[in-house]
């Protein structure tokens, strides 16, 4: 696309996304929503009025975070959000509620995993490897 | 390739379809008119129509078969191999 000459030759411009409301997905699974203020060639981003959005089932909750500097290597994708469009199938709840739901879901999953590991161990098989926080899983060490 | 509809598969198994808008040397991509393959698992993409995707998170890009020019692809690959071989020989000759 049309880039100003000396600026980041060969790099895709997030320039036109500046000052727009962006949804940024990070490698650890977090979703951040904020106004994009700064970019650089590594896709390091500065987000303003950032909100961390947590999704559990059909519910979501927003935690106000302020200003975020995100290191480029942790960015999975950065999407332009429609300002007025609200996800109509999703129901917003308070922070306390969404955190509770998330914890409940996490506990449920942990129990299910424990049960599965037990069953496997009873048959003499190894339990599945522990899950990474990194959703990409490309650095398992 | 720009302007074609592609399916981008991420390293975390997330897949989305969209029209390729631009690519750069790091294989970062801008994709417009996005639709997600697994909307239940990833609900947040409902309000996002265009996205910038960092090259390092992409596992595959599924291209439409008709838009790939096989003879051209094979020729360019062959040329690149020849160039690499020449570059290998040239510095050895100079030294």
> What token pair was written down for A20?
């727009």
Q: What is the pLDDT of residue B11?
A: 87
Q: Dig out the tokens for B31 from the structure.
A: 């994709």
By DSSP bridging, strand A59-70 and strand A91-92 are parallel
Average confidence score pLDDT of chain A: 79
Question: Which CATH code is given to the segment(s) B5-67?
Answer: 2.30.30.100
Provide the b/e sequence for B35-51 (b: ≥16 CB within 10 Å).
ebeeeeebbbbbbbbbb
Pick the residue from chain A with its C-alpha nearest to B29: A12
Question: In DSSP terms, which residues pair with A66 in a beta bridge?
Answer: A50
Distance CA A101, CA A51 (A): 18
Q: 3-state SS of chain A: helix, strand, coil percent to 5?
A: 25, 35, 40
Cβ contacts of B21 on chain A, cutoff 8 Å: 1
CATH (residue range A10-92): 2.30.30.100
Q: What is the pLDDT of residue A56?
A: 81
The model's pLDDT over A83-133, given as tens digits with 9 standing for 90+, comes to 655 556 677 778 888 888 888 888 998 898 888 888 888 888 877 676 655
Distance from the A126 Cα atom to the nearest Cα atom in chain B, whole angstroms: 24
CB B16 within 8 A of CB B34: yes
Query: Which residue stretches of chain B have pLDDT < 70?
Result: 38-41, 43, 92-95
Nearest of B48, B28, B30, B46 to residue B38 by alpha carbon: B46
Chain A residues in contact with B38 (beta carbon < 8 A): none
CB contact under 8 A, B44 and A58: no
> Cα dist. B36→A43, A87, A112, A134, B15 in Å?
23, 14, 28, 21, 6
A20-56 residue pLDDT tens = 899 999 988 889 999 999 988 888 999 999 999 888 8
Which residues of B lie closer than 8 Å to A, measured between beta carbons?
10-12, 14, 21-26, 28-30, 34, 43-54, 56-57
Q: Which of the pair, A1 or A17, is modelled with greater confidence?
A: A17
- Residue A9: pLDDT band with limits 50, 70, 90: very low
The residue of A79, A87, A140 whose CB has the most chain B CBs within 10 angstroms, and thus the best one to mutate to test that interface, is A79
- Output the 3-class SS for A77-120: EEEEECCCCCCCCCEECCHHHHHHHHHHHHHHHHHHHHHHHHHH
* In the predicted structure, residue A70 carries a pLDDT above the cut 90: yes
**Nearest CA-CA distance, residue A121 and chain B, Å:** 28
Which residue of B14, B43, B54 is in closest CB contact with A43? B54
What pLDDT is stored for residue A6 in this prediction?
44
Whether A7 shows a pLDDT value over 70: the answer reads no
């Amino acid at each position: 696309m049309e880039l100003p000459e000396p600026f980041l030759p060969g790099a895709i411009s997030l320039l036109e996304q500046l000052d727009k409301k962006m949804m940024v997905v990070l490698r650890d699974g977090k979703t951040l929503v904020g106004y994009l203020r700064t970019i650089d060639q590594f896709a390091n981003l500065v987000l303003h009025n950032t909100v961390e959005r947590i999704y559990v089932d059909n519910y979501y909750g927003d935690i106000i975070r302020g200003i975020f500097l995100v290191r480029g290597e942790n960015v999975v994708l950065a999407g332009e959000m429609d300002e007025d469009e609200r996800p109509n199938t999703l129901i917003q709840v308070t922070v306390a509620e969404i955190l509770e739901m998330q914890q409940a879901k996490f506990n449920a999953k942990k129990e299910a995993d424990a049960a599965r590991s037990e069953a496997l161990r009873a048959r003499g098989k190894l339990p599945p490897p522990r899950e990474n926080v990194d959703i990409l899983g490309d650095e398992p060490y | 390739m720009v302007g074609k509809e592609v399916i981008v598969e991420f390293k975390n198994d997330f897949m989305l379809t969209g029209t390729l808008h631009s690519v750069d040397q790091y294989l970062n991509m801008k994709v417009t008119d996005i639709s997600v393959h697994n909307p239940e698992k990833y609900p947040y993409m409902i309000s996002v129509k265009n996205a910038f995707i960092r090259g390092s998170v992409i596992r595959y890009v599924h291209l439409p078969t008709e838009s790939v020019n096989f003879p051209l692809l094979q020729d360019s690959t062959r040329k690149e191999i020849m160039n690499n071989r020449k570059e290998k020989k040239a510095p050895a000759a100079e030294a």
